Structure 1
Amino acid sequence: MSGQTSEGNDYPLSGSPVLNIGTDAEGIVVERPNRFLCVVDIVKPEKLRSELVHVHDPGRLVDIVYPGNRVLLRKASSVKRKTAWDLIAGDIKGEWVLVNSAWHRKISEWVLNKKIIPFLSDIGTVIPEQKFGDSRLDFLLRENERNFWVEVKGCTLAMDGVALFPDAPTVRGKRHLEELIKARDEGHEAVIMILIFRQDAHSFAPNGELDPDFTMTFRKAVDSGVKVFPIQFSFENNTIIFQSLLPVFENK
């Protein structure tokens, strides 16, 4: 692989807790009838009957949500829900991997508040969920007269030490990249923040084999000056832990 950008991986805040996400049960996946549902046999703290569980993640998660794999669950906060449980994490090689994108906002806000990314360390104003073009991007940051448009993606797939996004074809993700390119064309700064939840990853790359259209647009975005920051986290004792920023490697 060639083509690398990196901020290094030696950080004073490495190992810092980011967010506690309480879980209520551990179970074994029985089946996944569709993208947003799975059936889980609850085995801890006590053995219960199979439960229908909501999967709050747009990916395929084929190496995480499959029959026989261990998962962590959280009771749904709303009694009006069709499913009483949410999927929080799955087991990969004995380590828990967060697979619930509902927490991405709080994690990325922690990154911004703690100034983990040097490129964004002088930001004065953080505004979430702002419309740009035909999309709603995750953050608009302001530093004096400069605007920084930020889109956040979660990454749960890794192969041969490389974190890969996406793990399912994403027209929406491609459109977000196109908006960031447009932002650069209009003189703004633009950033992709990749939240990586795999401990076996040592670098990041777009998943060209699975989604060549996204990958081609990713390359265009980087060439236009869009900054890419892959940030690695672990999930230990129900707590998200910041690890480091990873380098970007890309096949040419």
Structure 2
Amino acid sequence: MVFDKELVHGRLIRRYKRFLTDVELDDGTQVLAHCTNSGSMKSCLEEGAEVYLSPVDDPKRKTKYTWEMIRINGNWVGIHTGHPNKLAVEALRSGSIPGLEGYTKVVPEVKIQDSRLDVMAENDAETCFVEVKNVTLKEGRYALFPDAVTTRGLKHLETLIRLKEEGYRAVMLYIIQRMDVEVFAPAQNIDPAYAEALKRAVDKGVEVFPVQAEVSPQGISLKKVLPFVIDDEKTKS
């Protein structure tokens, strides 16, 4: 995924009310930017850190910038929650994720049962439903999800379990927008119910693909599938 506009560089002043961010641009101007990430953003918030914003031309929008990424310990972390879905659709159409190749039809945003899942992918052999999650939380070498309690995420897992039981392929695709982690795991200390549901989903045959993405001011590219652990004592502390 390549950014279609040149991003604007600045430094984070503060993030507040979940969706608002004050940023000081390089020329000293202070601007208000929209933050798409409604989570806690733990491990990717640091006042004074470098950030990049994308300019918005919509005259109806109050905020003229959207916050795209932040530099933490020398690494860019992508915090825009809308990009993982785009990356997932691109990857499924191009077959660039090992284990998720060969689909001839890829449809985003599909309503199924009592949920709306992010992607449906089909070929002559199977129909695969994919739910995509954005991951930014880091603890040591681990990338963790979620960074706040997610009842919506829990509902998606239950839907995937039912779909798997009905004979469909069901996949949880975690897009990890940072390169300074090595292993994926559920954040058991933050949302034990989600962690337990993910373990149950895996036991029922739902597949987990944690895919690491490299974020830069030019764009975002998927790099590799990371190993994952479902029940690890280190993620409970």
TM, length-normalised to structure 1 = 0.87
Pairwise mapping of residues 185-204 of structure 1 onto structure 2 (< 5 A)?
Answer: 185-204=165-184
Q: How far apart are residue 92 of structure 1 and its match?
A: 1.1
Helix, strand or coil at the partner of 2:85: helix
Give SS of 1:128's match.
strand
Q: Tell me if the contact between 1:163 and 1:205 (Cα under 8 Å) persists in the aligned partners.
A: yes
How far did 1:21 drift? Answer: 5.4
5+ residue gaps, structure 2: 233-237
Which residue of structure 1 aligns with residue 235 of structure 2? none
Q: CA deviation at 1:145?
A: 5.0
CA distance in 2, matches of 1:250, 1:145: 29
Structure 1 residues 21 and 201, CA, compared in 2 at 3 Å: closer, same or farther? Answer: farther
Q: Distance in 1 between matches of 2:186 and 2:83?
A: 22
CA RMSD of aligned residues (A): 1.6
| Whole-angstrom CA distance in 2 between matches of 1:113 and 1:125 | 7
Change (3 A) 1:90 1:204: same
Cα distance in 2, alignment partners of residues 151 and 87 from structure 1: 24
Deviation track 1:182-229 (CA, whole Å, cap 9, x = no partner) reads 101111110011101121111100111101011011011101100001
Which residue in the other structure is 2:31 paired with? 51
Cα deviation for residue 61 of structure 1 reads: 1.2
Rounded to whole Å, the distance in 1 between the matches of 2:171 and 2:78 is 23
Change (3 A) 1:118 1:25: closer
Query: Which residue of 2 is the match for residue 207 of structure 1?
Result: 187
For 1:71, the aligned partner's letter is V
Q: Decide whether the 8 Å contact of 1:124 with 1:141 is kept in 2.
A: yes
Q: Give yes or no for the alignment of 1:123 onto 2:103.
A: yes
Asked if 1:217 corresponds to 2:202, the answer is no
Q: Which stretch shifts more, 30-39 or 62-71?
A: 62-71
Using CA pairs under 8 Å that are at least 6 residues apart, name the structure with larger relative contact order, 1 or 2.
1
Q: Is the 8 A contact 1:157 1:167 kept in 2?
A: yes
8 Å contact kept, 2:33–2:66: yes
Per residue, is there more strand in 1 or in 2? 1
Distance 1:24 1:117, change over 3 A: closer
Is the Cα–Cα contact under 8 Å of residues 75 and 180 in structure 2 kept in the other structure?
no
Aligned partner of 2:69 in structure 1 is 89
Residue 11 of structure 2 corresponds to residue 31 of structure 1: no
Per the TM alignment, residue 241 of structure 1 is displaced from its structure 2 partner at its CA by: 2.6
In 2, Cα distance between the equivalents of 1:157 and 1:203? 12
Residue of structure 2 aligned with 1:231, choices 194, 211, 214: 211
Aligned partner of 1:19 in structure 2 is: 2
Distance in 1, matches of 2:5 and 2:73, equals 22
Name the aligned partner's letter for residue 210 of structure 2.
P
The separation in 2 between residues aligned to 1:214 and 1:134, in whole angstroms, is: 18
Query: Take 1:246 and 1:98, find their aligned partners in 2: how far apart are those partners?
Result: 17
The question of whether the paired residues in 2 share the 8 Å contact of 1:22 and 1:238 is answered with no
Note the alpha carbon deviations across 1:50-83, whole angstroms, 9 max, x for none.
Answer: 2111001122113323422221111113111011
Taking a change above 3 Å as real, the CA distance of residues 197 and 21 of structure 1, as seen in their structure-2 partners, is: farther
